[in-house]
């Protein structure tokens, strides 16, 4: 188990994939398939992911028949969320650099350790996002 600076706790499975994350008493649980793709996550209710090969194409809430998110992919990665009409832009390394929906909503900068610095119009301060290494 790993403890974050804000007191959050993280557990990983034997393949070093994020298994649980707990912050402020709320636990998120993640499940993976044999190809190391996240196939479900549970926060309050379960969300199930649908893939076309290695590309995430939709997310469904438990028992739902319509997706809560559906994605359009291009040659450089994810292009658009078809449900929320938000667009994703990638930098030269293929990492998401901007999120727009009529206007610029969020932007990300990455350091050499693949840690993203997140900024948005609605947040005055930046924060660092931590990613699991593959």
Sign of CA dihedral 42, 86, 106, 57: positive
Burial call 47-68: b when 16+ CB within 10 Å, e when fewer:
bbbeeeeeebbbbbeeeeeebe
Confidence tier at 127 by pLDDT (50, 70, 90): very low
In a domain? residue 90: yes
Distances (CA, A) of 81 to 19, 120, 131: 26, 18, 21
Percent of the chain predicted with pLDDT > 70: 83
pTM of the model: 0.59
* Neighbouring residues of 3: CB distance < 8 A, sequence distance ≥ 6: 9, 10
Q: What angle do CA 21, 47, 25 make, to 5 degrees?
A: 30
Mean pLDDT of the chain: 81
**In terms of Cα–Cα distance, which of 63, 83, 60 is closest to 72?**
83
Which range of residues forms the domain containing residue 119? 85-134
Q: How many domains does the chain have?
A: 1
Q: What is the pLDDT of residue 131?
A: 43
Percent of the chain predicted with pLDDT > 90: 16
In a domain? residue 80: no
- Whether the per-residue pLDDT at 70 is higher than 90: the answer is yes
Residue 36 token pair: 């190391």
pLDDT digits (tens, 9 = 90+) for 99-111: 898 888 888 877 7
In a domain? residue 37: no
Lowest-pLDDT choice from 29-38, 42-51, 109-118: 109-118
Q: What angle do CA 75, 76, 80 make, to 5 degrees?
A: 90
In a domain? residue 78: no
């Amino acid at each position: 188990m790993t403890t974050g600076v804000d007191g959050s706790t993280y557990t990983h499975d034997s393949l070093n994939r994020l298994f649980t994350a707990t912050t402020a008493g709320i636990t998120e649980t993640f499940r993976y398939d044999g190809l190391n793709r996240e196939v479900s996550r549970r926060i309050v209710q379960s969300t199930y992911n649908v893939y076309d090969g290695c590309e995430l194409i939709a997310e469904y809430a438990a028992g739902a028949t319509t997706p809560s998110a559906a994605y359009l992919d291009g040659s450089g990665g994810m292009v658009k969320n078809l449900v929320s009409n938000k667009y994703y832009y990638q930098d030269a390394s293929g990492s998401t650099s901007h999120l727009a929906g009529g206007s610029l909503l969020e932007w990300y900068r990455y350091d050499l350790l693949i840690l993203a610095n997140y900024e948005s119009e609605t947040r005055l301060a930046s924060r660092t996002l931590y990613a699991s290494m593959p």
